[in-house]
């Protein structure tokens, strides 16, 4: 089964722990890059830890969780090759994979409850990239990334 890297800050810790158990029961192998408790911490450390593991090819995909999801999304998308998608509903999750080949799902614990997070992760992990015209667009994003 697929290996998934997962991380959170203190605001996403509880949801991350529940999601880990859920995904492990579904057969996914999970590597947690932190945080490991609810003490205040800085989300960029964990966003980078997960994103760099994907960028290096150690994992195909991962999940990040913080309170809003915004900070993790911004931080992870600074890493070359990362397409982190902040999603709050099932349609966005599905499209992030179909059209954008997102390799990091970002959730905000303030906006996504446990049940929805489980459904979102399941859909995201099962949905394949469509390719076609979307590949052309991703190549244009890569070109922008390479110019920076």
Known catalytic residues are 66, 99
> 78, 116 in Cβ contact below 8 A?
no
H helices of the chain, in order, are 13-25, 43-55, 70-76, 90-98, 114-126, 133-147
Pairwise CA distance, residues 26 & 45, whole Å: 28
Kindly state the tokens that stand for 102: 């997102």
Closest CA to 8 of 125, 18, 116: 18
């Amino acid at each position: 089964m697929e290996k998934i890297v997962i991380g959170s800050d203190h605001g996403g810790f509880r949801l991350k722990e529940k999601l880990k158990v859920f995904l492990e029961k579904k057969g996914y192998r999970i590597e947690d890059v932190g945080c490991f408790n609810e003490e205040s911490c800085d989300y960029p450390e964990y966003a980078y830890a997960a994103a760099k593991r994907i960028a290096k090819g150690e994992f195909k995909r991962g999940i990040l969780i913080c309170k809003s999801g915004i900070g993790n999304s911004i931080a992870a998308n600074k890493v070359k090759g990362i397409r982190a998608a902040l999603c709050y509903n099932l349609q966005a999750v599905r499209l992030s994979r179909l059209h954008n080949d997102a390799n990091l799902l970002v959730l905000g614990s303030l906006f996504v409850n446990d049940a929805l997070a489980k459904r979102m992760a399941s859909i995201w992990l099962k949905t394949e990239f469509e390719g076609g015209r979307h590949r052309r667009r991703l190549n244009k994003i890569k070109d922008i990334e390479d110019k920076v």
